[in-house]
Amino acid sequence: MRDALDVRPVPASTRVLQIGPFKTGTTAIQHAASGRRAELAARGVVYPGTGLNHRWGCSALVGFTWGWTKAEAETAGPRHGQALLREVAQAPRNARIWISYERLAVLDEAQAKELCERIGGRVHVLVGLRPLRSLLASEWQQMIKSGRRPGPLDDWAQRTLDAIGDGTVARHLDHAGLVERWAGIVGSDGVTCIALDPEQPEMLPRALEGLLGLPEGLLDPPATGALRNRALTVAELELVGAVAHELREAGLTRADYMDLVGRGMIPRLLERQPGPEEARIRLGAEVAARAREVDLAAAGRVRASGVRVVGDLDRYAGVGADAGPAAEDSAGPSGLVPVEVAVAAVLGAAEQLRAAWDEAAPVAAVRTVRGSLGRRLRRRAAALAVR
């Protein structure tokens, strides 16, 4: 496949900045890279740090914060940014340096320019393009999994499509604007876009291997079920949303929520193999058609920008494809996954993970939270008619 893609390596000493956006296969490729740092280094590619990606270093450099409220906002200390810049500066002279963090796609022009200046040297930007008609449902699911409250899918998607192009709310989803913004900073020859194809999941690793001058197969994702990142079903997502609502009502912080749900409940749900009868989340026909129009317009602008494109922009734009069937009815739960099972998974994880909250916290405190949340969720389950 790599020969068909015809991806030429960037010059030696180039900093390859993989900016996502979200839900474009970055996590799997980051797992491959972080687990093979020594092999990459032996082949002249530096993947800085010791973690999965470069979230902490990049966040420190651009000022990202995370948290549900300003009061609980977390930041990355300056030392993380300094460590990243130091490793970049100390890399072998001819090494290609690969920095990967998908949140960089939300940067505005001034922030992106400052980041490139701080990294220094020749910067080449890698952008994954996934059509909005499939991406929007994935992004909405991720928001719910993260404990946010976006509202019904189609309503949120309509608002998001309205916001695309205004340079604020949906900056990372305005694919044409994203490409044009970074091309304006590093030049059109300094941007590579990969038009992702769901039928060719190997496209991203093959393109990155070509860009970095690596042998084919080195960046294949590890063969482990732990990295499974399938979409949740309607029933599963309803459970996650219900639990998220109750945990937030109980006053948990985002950090505690991610320990309980992000690293507790959701991985357990993903171990399931949903049956063919379980409804999946999809955009309604009207919203999907509108998203397709936005994809088509974006493809034209990306093509006109002069950046290098790997893959088929016509396929990204949906040229020649039908609009697809209407969405499954996702307004209510299916009852296939009992809420009580989800509660047990989350609150069982609470005792295992309570050290992440406060090692001195007594087990009794966790049990008190369990009782309160259990009562709340039983009431919610009854209201939702979930078994």
Distance (Å, whole) CA 68 – CA 66: 7
Residue pair 80/32 in contact (Cβ under 8 Å)? The answer is no
pLDDT for the residue numbered 261: 85
The domain made up of 2-131+169-225+288-317 is a member of CATH 3.30.530 = no
- Structure tokens given for 281: 């989340």
- Position with higher pLDDT, 103 vs 371: 103
Distance (Å, whole) CA 100 – CA 78: 18
Distance (Å, whole) CA 122 – CA 193: 17
User: What is the side-by-side strand order in the sheet with 123-129?
Assistant: 45-46, 96-100, 15-18, 123-129, 191-195, 308-311
Mean pLDDT of the chain: 84
pLDDT for the residue numbered 380: 53
Query: Which DSSP letter does residue 385 get?
Result: T
324: pLDDT strictly greater than 50:
no
129: pLDDT strictly greater than 90:
yes
**The whole model's pTM is what?**
0.85
277: pLDDT strictly greater than 50:
yes
Strands 45-46 and 96-100: parallel
pLDDT digits (tens, 9 = 90+) for 132-184: 999 999 999 999 998 888 999 999 999 999 998 776 668 899 999 999 999 99
14: pLDDT strictly greater than 70:
yes
Backbone φ and ψ for 318, nearest 5 degrees, come out as 80, 20
- Structure tokens given for 368: 């008190």
- Position with higher pLDDT, 265 vs 182: 182
pLDDT grade, residue 195 (50/70/90)? very high
- Structure tokens given for 321: 């494809």
314: pLDDT strictly greater than 60:
yes
Worst-scoring range by mean pLDDT, 36-40, 303-307, 369-373? 369-373
- Position with higher pLDDT, 20 vs 165: 20
pLDDT for the residue numbered 265: 82
- Structure tokens given for 357: 């909250």
